[in-house]
Amino acid sequence: MAHLRFLLRRAVQGLAVIWIVTTITFALIHLAPGGPSILADPKLSPVERRAAEERLGLDRPLAVQYLVWQRNLLRGDLGRSYLYQTPAGRTALARVPNTALLAGLALLLSLAVAVPAGIYAGRRPGSAADRLLGLGSFAALSVPTFWFGIVLIILFAALWHLLPAGGTSTPGLEGSPADRVRHLLLPVLVLAVPVAAEFARYVRSGVATAAHAPHVAAARARGLDERLILRRHVLRNALLPLVTIVGLQAPLLAGGAAITETVFSWPGMGRLGVEAALGRDYPVVMAITLGVAAAVVAINLVLDVVYYLVDPRVRIG
């Protein structure tokens, strides 16, 4: 019973978070000067502008617009994109798989690189390899994403003709897996580099700390095999926090994806968000905000539940 109440309370709080986010976003964009960019064509005559405002419902008072938006939201209707005249929710959803592919591969790549590298360096604090990793990860965290991407495009595509400069596939080769991989390589790399650096630092310090914990020393005193100690006593403690860190990276990854997708002409949700914000496509901005907020709240909820199940003493909030 108490479990259920806890879950219920967290779910209600989650909904409240989503409501706060969407309401603030709505107010922020609708109170803005300038209005949607489709109405800002200097050639638009007053007749055309009035007709467009009427069609988009922008001639109504703000409070009415907000209530209409909320009512439609409850019906699952997020409105129509101003720029594309397509349903905003479906337009945003259609881009999710592309971003998920890019971000997912980047996440996997960074884990595949960061975990072994972090363990290696963490077991040899102060060694040359450790210092190299430290410096490398700082450098990786210090490079502006877009600049790194553009430099890679110039080198690999424009000058050396080794990899494509952007897009998802070559016209005429749409089904080819090799072509797909070629288009993924550079954007995944650009997206993965700072994330890998962040992970490597966590793993390294986790391993370095755990390696000197009393129970590890005790295990070694009992004469246990080094490999067993590493696997059973060090890694378990060092890698557990990584789960949380991976969760926290999600919004940052989404931001990084927006830049990477723009540089590499990748048709993902990040770029749609950038275009919608720049073009003031209110319904699409709202749909994306809602979607991202809901996803993050859901992830947090799942994490809370996991923590709760693992350690029922936890009573957060």
Partner 1 sequence: MPRSASALLLVLLVLFAWAGPLLRRTDPDALDLRHTVAPRSAAHPLGTDESGRDVLARLMAGGRVSLTVGIVATFVALLLGTLVGAVAGWRGGWVESLLMRGTDAAMAVPPLFVALAVLSIYGSRLWLVVGVIGATSWTGVGRLVRAEVLALREAEFVLAARALGRGGAGIVLRHLLPQLVPTLTVAASVGVAWAILTESALSFLGLGVQPPRASWGNMLTGAQASLYTAPRLAVWPGVMILLTTLACNGLGEALRRRHTR
Partner 2 sequence: MTGARPGDWTRCDDRRLGRRRWPIGLLALILAVACTASSPAPPDTLRLALINDPILNPVLAPDLGSVMVNKVIFPGLVRPDERLRPEPDLAESWTASPDGKTWTFALRRGVKWHDGVPFSAGDVRFTFERILDPRSGSLLWSDFSVIDRIETPDSLTVRFVLKTRFAAFLTLLGYNAGIIPEHAFHGRPIYEAADFNRRRPIGTGPFRVVDAVPGASLTLEVNPDYYGAKPRLRRVVFKLVPDASAQVAQLRAGELDLVTLEPASLPGVEHAPGITIREAVVPQHYYVAFNQRRPLLKPVLVRRALDLAVNRRAIVEGVLKGSADLPVGTIPVALPDWFADSLERVPYDTARARRLLAEAGWRRGAGGGGGGGGLLRNDIGEPFRLTLLVDKGNPSREQAALAVLQDLRAVGVDATMQTLEFAALVRDYLQPGRYDAILIWWTTPPDPDQYSYYATGQINNNVAWSNPRADSLLLAGRGETDTVRRRAIYLAFQALEREDPPVLVLYYPREVQAMSSRLSGVPKLGVRDALRHVEAFGFR
What tokens were used for 122? 């963490």
The footprint of partner 2 on residues 179-218 (CB under 8 A) is: 179, 181-182, 185, 208, 211-212
Closer of 70 and 170 to partner 2 (Cβ): 170
Q: What's the CA gap between 69 and 263, in Å, rounded?
A: 33
Three-state secondary-structure class, residue 8: helix
**What is the SS3 assignment for 16?**
helix
Contacting range for partner 1; rule: CB under 8 A; set: 16-24, 54-62, 96-104, 160-168: 16-24
Out of 87, 89, 187, 194, the only residue in the binding site for partner 2 (CB under 8 A) is 87
Nearest to 115 by CA among 208, 209, 241, 204: 204
Nearest distance in Å: CB 142, partner 1 = 4
Q: Which does 147 bind (CB under 5 to 8 A by kind): partner 1, partner 2, none?
A: partner 1
**Which segment (11-19, 65-73, 115-123, 235-243) binds partner 2 by CB under 8 A?**
115-123
Per the structure block, which two tokens stand in for 121?
């360096």
User: How far is Cα 150 from Cα 263, in angstroms, rounded to an integer?
Assistant: 7
Least CB distance to partner 1 at residue 20 (A): 5
How far apart are alpha carbons 39 and 204 in whole angstroms?
53
CA angle 122, 124, 126 (to 5 degrees): 100
Shortest Cβ distance from residue 162 to partner 1 (Å)?
17
Q: Judged by CB under 8 A, does residue 172 bind partner 2?
A: yes
Smallest Cα–Cα separation from 289: which of 16, 11, 95, 23? Answer: 23
Identify the three-state secondary structure at position 211: coil
Among 66, 120, 146, 308, binds partner 1 (CB under 8 A): 146
Alpha carbons 168 and 171: distance in angstroms, whole number: 10
Residue 144 contacts which entry, partner 1, partner 2, none (Cβ below 5-8 A, type-dependent): partner 1
Residues 294-313 that bind partner 2 (CB under 8 A): none
Residue 44 is a binding residue for partner 2 (CB under 8 A):
yes
Site for partner 1 in 209-248 (CB under 8 A): 248
- Which H or E element spans position 92? helix 88-122
**Among partner 2, partner 1, none, partner that 42 touches (CB below 5 to 8 angstroms by kind):** partner 2
Binding mask 273-312 for partner 1 (x = CB under 8 A): xx--xx-x----x--xx--xx--xx--x------------
Closest CA to 207 of 121, 122, 112: 122
Which one of residues 89, 194, 273, 279 is an interface residue with partner 2 (CB under 8 A)?
279
Q: To the nearest whole angstrom, how small is the minimum distance from the Cβ of residue 11 to partner 2?
A: 33
**Whether 220 contacts 131, CB under 8 Å:** no
User: What contacts 7, CB < 8 A, 6 or more positions away?
Assistant: 305, 308
Interface residues with partner 1 (CB under 8 A)?
13, 16-18, 20-21, 25, 28-29, 32-34, 134-135, 138-139, 141-147, 150, 154, 158, 248, 251-252, 254-256, 258-259, 262, 273-274, 277-278, 280, 285, 288-289, 292-293, 296-297, 300, 317
